[in-house]
Structures are given as C-alpha cells and as structure tokens.
Amino acid sequence: MNINITKTTKSRITYINFDKLDFGRVFSDHMFVMAYQNGTWQQPSIEPYGSITFEPSMMALHYGQAVFEGMKAYHANDKTIHLFRPKDHHKRLNNSARRLCMPEIEESVFIEGLEELLKLDSAWVPKTHGHALYIRPLMFASEEYLAAKVSEEYQFFIITSPVAAYYSEGFNPVSLTTSENFVRAVKGGTGEAKAAGNYGGSFLPAKKAQEIGYTQVLWLDAIEHKYVEEVGTMNIFFLMDNKLVTPQLSGSVLPGITRRSVIALAKEWGIEVEERQISIDEVFDAHKNGTLQEIFGAGTAAVISPVGHINHKGESITLDREKIGPFAKKMFDAITDIQYGKIDDKYGWIHPVTLV
Ligand SMILES: Cc1ncc(COP(=O)(O)O)c(C=O)c1O
C-alpha cells in the first residue's frame, strides 16, 4: 500500500511531560488520514496532527454516523513496539461500520497504516512500565448535506495519545449503581457496535450516578431490567463459587477484546467460565450466601478494574473495597505481562512493530 507521508517540521514532543500525562489530552505528531469518495477509499496519507475543516452541514454531526476503536501500543524494548490484538480491533471496527451502514476498511490498510504511524511516532510510546500509547481509529460521515440518509462520503483517521499507567497510585476499586430509569442499549440497536452515539446517550445516567457517589452505572438489560450487561467502557466479570461468570454477548453488549482475553486465560488456568445471562438478584444472592468472591471490569483503558460496591434499588453489596482480589490481580498481571512482552504470547495476541 502506498501511503503519502508528510512529516512534521517541528515535533511537539519536547513540550510533553511524560511524567504527568492526562488521558487523551495530548496527541502525537502525526495522524493517519483516508477519505472515502465516489464509492471507494482514496489514497491514504500520514500528516502532521492538526485541525480539520468541515462545514456545519457535515452529516456525522446531525445523524450520528460515527464509529471508533480504542486500543494501545506498548514499549517492549528500544527496537520493538507491541500492538495488542490489532486485527480483532480491526474486525470490530468493520462490524461497527456495517451496523452504521458505513464502508469497511481492508485489514492490510488498517494494519499498515498503524505500523507506519507507530514507526514515525515511536518516540511517543512511553517507556515507563504501565504507560502506553493509546490509539484511536475513528470513522465518520463527512458528506455536507442535510438529509437523513446514508452519507456518500467518509473520513477515517487514526490518532494516538500517550497515556499514563491507569493505576499509578494502586488499584482503586470502583463503586457501581444500576439505573432505574435509563438503559444503554437494546438487542437490535447499536449497543454491540462501538458507535459514538452510544456514549453520548450514556453520559446523563453516568452523571446522575456520579452525583450520588458512584463511579459508573452497571447497565441492566433494556427489556426486563434484570440481567447485568456491562459498565461504562468495560465488560463485567463475577467470580462466584470458583467459576467465572460474565454476561453473554446478547446483541446489546460491546464484545470487548479484553473480555475475550480474560476468558481465554481463565480457561487456560482451569477455571470454569460461564457466558450466560446473570441477573442482578443472582449477584446479590451470591453475596448473601457467601459464594461471591470477586467482581471486576475488563477493558482496554484499565485492563482489569476491581469493583468494590454495587447499589441496586437502594440495597447494596460491598466487597473488599480497599484492594483488588487475588484472581483479578493475577489476570491483570498476566495480560499486562503479555502486552509488554514479559511473558510468552501463546495466543498470538501481540503484533510487534519493529523499529529501524
Ligand atoms: C461500552 C464498552 N464496553 C466494553 C469495553 C471494553 O472493550 P475492550 O476490552 O475491547 O476495550 C469498551 C471499551 O472499548 C466499551 O466502550
């Protein structure tokens, strides 16, 4: 693939304090850009990161045809950067695009674009263990036309942002509340796509949860309001009776790539894994009868996030709030060790990018 590369004439990296990184606030020097016009993707380019221009009639702003991904690159050594499961992220991006009636991107374009961008901005991949370069591929409808219909033009970007270790001050268990009035997604809707609008719609309930002291909403199913689905930007796991239980991918849950990794590792360790419907009542009952051992979320940002507290209709359960459980910690260590190349990658999850 031929990518037109225009390098920046003045890197901004010298202004960045890598000891004080605020998630998603600073961006590396370059971005991958590709436009879709006349029924096909045009020649891609890598350009200096910067503003783009569009008219207020741009369709993504009105009708919400916008999808994205979130993944990370890790410093393995001075010659190698590790991408974690980029082909799975690519597949999910295309699944999201299909659901929103947007054009798919070829795997080779996505992977080569990422590789070239990383080679150019390799100095932006933080070297401190736990830190990473967050990667945000995004696609949106760019036709300028006020008509509620499928856009005929799109823009695809990959931008990157160095981020600090999520747990620089130790694991901090989150507290969750279910919501009685709001739902995140319904089967047949866009919940299993990484569609921008899913997030916009969840901000009000999340804000209300925070106002009453909870970190995030624990989403229940939209029909019966009974079965656990997921949390903010994480899938959820319950260690109960020495089994690992997680909500099945019902059509309204985002198929997390960390989720899939957790399930594979747990099975390898001989843990029974159940992907099934799990009601909030079952979780509360397990806590009452002493079989609920650990609860944790799984997602790219935190990898594993211990849950210390759940509120549901005024009743609550509290686990060990001060620390992460032993199973969740073992899982966190195993996944991060694979990501940084500290242990063998039996599954082929790592895509190394070799620097010259
Ligand atoms: C709604 C939602 N659920 C779950 C996840 C976890 O997915 P992943 O492990 O692929 O980051 C994310 C993050 O992308 C998310 O936004």
Across 78-202, the runs of DSSP E, i.e. the strands, are 80-84, 132-141, 154-163, 174-177
Q: What is the pLDDT of residue 321?
A: 65
235 within ligand 1 shell (Cβ under 6 A): yes
259 within ligand 1 shell (Cβ under 6 A): yes
Percentage with pLDDT > 90 across the chain: 94
How far is the C-alpha of 182 from the C-alpha of 191, rounded, in Å? 14
* The token pair that represents 210 in the structure block: 């925070």
| Residue indicated by tokens 């921008």 | 196
Tens of pLDDT, residues 293-320: 999 999 999 999 999 999 999 999 999 7
263 within ligand 1 shell (Cβ under 6 A): no
Ligand 1, pocket-test mutation among 235, 261, 296, most atoms within 8 A of CB: 235
How far is the C-alpha of 23 from the C-alpha of 352, rounded, in Å? 24
* Contact by Cβ (8 Å): 178, 217: yes
Segments in the chain below pLDDT 70: 321
Q: Whose CA is nearest to atom 15 of ligand 1?
A: 233
How far is the C-alpha of 155 from the C-alpha of 164, rounded, in Å? 29
What is the CA(329)–ligand 1 centre distance, in A?
19
CATH top-level class for 4-165?
alpha beta
Q: Whose CA is nearest to atom 16 of ligand 1?
A: 233
For residue 255, how many C-alpha atoms fall within 13 Å in the half-sphere facing its CB? 14
Tens of pLDDT, residues 26-65: 999 999 999 999 999 999 999 999 999 999 999 999 999 9
What is the CA(73)–ligand 1 centre distance, in A?
16
What is the CA(256)–ligand 1 centre distance, in A?
5
* DSSP code, position 128: S
* The token pair that represents 191 in the structure block: 């919940």
* Contact by Cβ (8 Å): 134, 24: yes
How far is the C-alpha of 34 from the C-alpha of 267, rounded, in Å? 40
Structural domain boundaries in the chain: 4-165, 174-339
How far is the C-alpha of 203 from the C-alpha of 280, rounded, in Å? 22
174-339: CATH superfamily: D-amino Acid Aminotransferase, subunit A, domain 2 (3.20.10.10)
230 within ligand 1 shell (Cβ under 6 A): yes
What is the CA(318)–ligand 1 centre distance, in A?
24
Q: What is the pLDDT of residue 170?
A: 77
For residue 84, how many C-alpha atoms fall within 13 Å in the half-sphere facing its CB? 28
What is the CA(147)–ligand 1 centre distance, in A?
31
Instruction: State pTM to two decimals.
Output: 0.97
| Residue indicated by tokens 């309930």 | 205
What are the b/e assignments for 312-323, b being 16+ CB within 10 Å? beeeebebeeee
